[in-house]
Structure 1
Amino acid sequence: MNLHIKNETSKLKAVVLGTAESIGPIPTLEEAYDPKSKEHIIAGTYPKEEDMVKEIEAVAAVLKKYDVEVYRPKVIQDYNQIFTRDIAFVIDDKFIKSNILPDRDQEIDAIEHVMKQIKPENIITLPREAHIEGGDVMPMGDYIFVGTYKGKDYRDFITARTNLKAVEELEKIFPEKKVISFSLKKSNSIAKDNALHLDCCFQPVGKNKAIIYKGGFLIEEEYEWLINFFGRENVYEITRDEMYHMNSNIFSISEDVVISEKGFTRLNKWLREQGITVEEVPYAEIAKQEGLLRCSTLPLIRE
């Protein structure tokens, strides 16, 4: 397999799509990784496996419609394997394994059948102290955008997934690219104040557009940098509630086609106004775990 990922929106050829099969019992509050999951555990509204399986299979059907080669993780019994974006990411022809929460170590083993098709020299394991998850990493041609948290209280936040050491490692691996980091707001307890990953408050779409939630950024100048990068007229601003429902976490099949949650009425209307075809799927149950369409896909090849 010849990996090739230069950006977020070129025509998708191959992807690893997560699975909701055998995700196990509802986690305890202590086992939950994010404040949104905790909310639903407390409320008794945590998503059911059968509903999440239907949602992911709806995405699989759309991907197949567009002739995308879809790989799936090997199912591990009683283990959540929905969010494949967390466990690894591809930039150019390099497959970079994430250093994620220790409880999730088995997830990478479940896609070993995919990794066996990749040249071993193109698989990169980062130092253990470089914490990173794929939801924080966005290749943008000559740039790599990275969401991070730089505070001294980093270890206090289970929601802080990518540290400065990881940003520095990416700079070493890709010296020819400009690695731009963005400090994100974190909260262990209030989901509406937590940008778990960069793709929870920002995502490029189409040829030169972007979806942004200003309140997800700790430093206003970094948010303004993104506005200037795309041009204010090309930016779609989402609200705090829309961020909470994961409006920035849609997934591009190409510059002209996206998969989006069917309930994102305002966003989907704007996307269509930009000439983008919107393939709507139900994904509101999976969203209860603070992840959506980009989180559950790991692109391997784009044209």
Structure 2
Amino acid sequence: MLSLHINNETSRLKAVILGIAREIGEQPELEDAYDPKSAEHIKAGTYPEEKDMVKEMKAVEEVLKKYDVEVYRPKVIEEYNQIFTRDIGFVIEDKFIKANILPDREREIDAIQHVINQVKQENVVKFPDEVHVEGGDVMPHGDYIFVGTYRGEDYSNYITARTNTKAVEAIQELFPHKKVKSFNLRKDNDDAKNNALHLDCCFQPVGKNKAIIHKNGFLEKEEYEWLVNFFGKENVFEITKEEMYNMNSNVFSIAEDVVISEKNFTRLNTWLRENGITVEEVPYAEIAKQEGLLRCSTLPLIRE
């Protein structure tokens, strides 16, 4: 059996599900794009190719193995995008929560069922259908659980709005002893530079007490300021609109002092190293074209 254990984003990683880029099928049609960034690359003829994405994911797998992390992979479904495992589920404490994701992506959960089967069944949670949630919006942080959401009345107009306020309530009910803090995120179906698809697209804790953040990802100035105060201004790395667009906040922590990051994130990687964090650089710029990066393609199961 798998003894799940996740209380934060940065403790030493022991086991993870890493997405897979094989047999991904044809480039999607423009009308089938789930996010503005993929749409942009489909239009421009620069949508990533399978062989490049397979190579990028292999580099991540090698880093994980170097740190003795147990790596699980989804079963391959032909002609199906299975890169972003974080969207389809997440772990808090000893619970595996199945995400309620876009209906077109239901089969992705089936492909990791062999892992879910190793979890005590009473610890596998599926919320009711009206509770929308994806793992990119959910971050356990000690006594807190941070949740990205969209509170607008026009929620249903946004394919980029993935986690609703019902999810915030459901998570609070499931973990009554935690403080669930939600953040209203900026959504845009057409402009990737103005769209925070998930909370991890504009914010992520790193190290012992630090965080990466992009102010414009948050619709409420007070909520952004709450986070800056929570971590302390001196511990926060503010990323620009361009850096957010390139997914700088979507790195992935193996431990408090080890982060996997994209090799082109020069400014961020320098800051991480200045703060005593080892940066394992990988190429991930092709996968980034689908508005997801390292955190999106990993689903941690066990941290120390």
TM-score range relative to shorter protein: over 0.9
2:161 maps to which residue? 160
Matching residue's letter, 2:88: I
- Tell me the equivalent position of 1:48: 49
Q: Deviations over 1:72-107 (max 9, x none)?
A: 000000000000000000000000000000000000
Give distance in 1, aligned partners of 2:98 and 2:142: 20
SS in 1 for 2:31: coil
In structure 1, C-alpha distance between the alignment counterparts of 2:116 and 2:200, rounded to whole Å: 24
State the AA in 1 paired with 2:142. Answer: G
**2:106 match:** 105
Partners of 1:294 and 1:257 lie apart in 2 by 14
Cα distance, 1:162 vs structure 2:
0.2
| Separation (CA, whole Å) in 1 of partners of 2:67 and 2:172 | 34
- Which residue pairs with 1:257 in the alignment? 258
> Where does residue 2 of structure 1 map in the other structure?
3
Whole-Å separation in 1 of the counterparts to 2:241 and 2:187: 14
Q: Distance in 1 between matches of 2:114 and 2:300?
A: 15
Q: What are the residue-to-residue correspondences of 1:121-200 with 2, within 5 Å?
A: 121-200=122-201
Gaps of 5+ in 2: none
Query: 1:301: Cα distance to partner?
Result: 0.0
Match in the other structure for 2:85 = 84
What corresponds to 1:214 in structure 2? 215
Partner-residue secondary structure (3-state), 1:146? strand
SS of 2:190's equivalent?
coil
Task: Work out the CA distance in 1 between the residues paired with 2:124 and 2:222.
Answer: 35
Equivalent residue pairs, number? 303
**TM-score, structure 1 length as denominator?**
1.00
- Map 1:235-246; keep pairs closer than 5 Å: 235-246=236-247
CA distance in 2, matches of 1:192, 1:61: 31
Shift of 1:184: 0.3
Gaps of 5+ in 1: none
Deviations 1:168-213 (A, max 9, x none): 0001000000000000000000000000000000000000000000
**Equivalent residue of 1:160, what SS?**
coil
- 1:29 to partner: Cα distance: 1.1
* Corresponding position of 1:38: 39
Identity, % of aligned positions? 76
Q: Secondary structure at the match of 1:63?
A: helix
| TM-score when normalising by structure 2 | 0.99
Q: Per-residue deviation at 1:25?
A: 0.5
Aligned-partner residue type, residue 10 of structure 1: S
Please list every run of at least 4 consecutive aligned residues from structure 1 whose deviation after the TM superposition is greater than 4 angstroms.
none
* 1:95-145 deviation per Cα after TM superposition (whole angstroms, max 9, x unaligned): 000000000000000001101110000000001000000000000011000
Could you tell me how far apart the structure 1 residues matched to 2:24 and 2:157 are? 27
Q: Which moved more, 1:22-31 or 1:33-42?
A: 22-31
| 1:224-243 alignment runs, 5 A limit | 224-243=225-244
**In structure 1, what is the Cα distance between the partners aligned to 2:160 and 2:117?**
31
Aligned to 1:277: 278
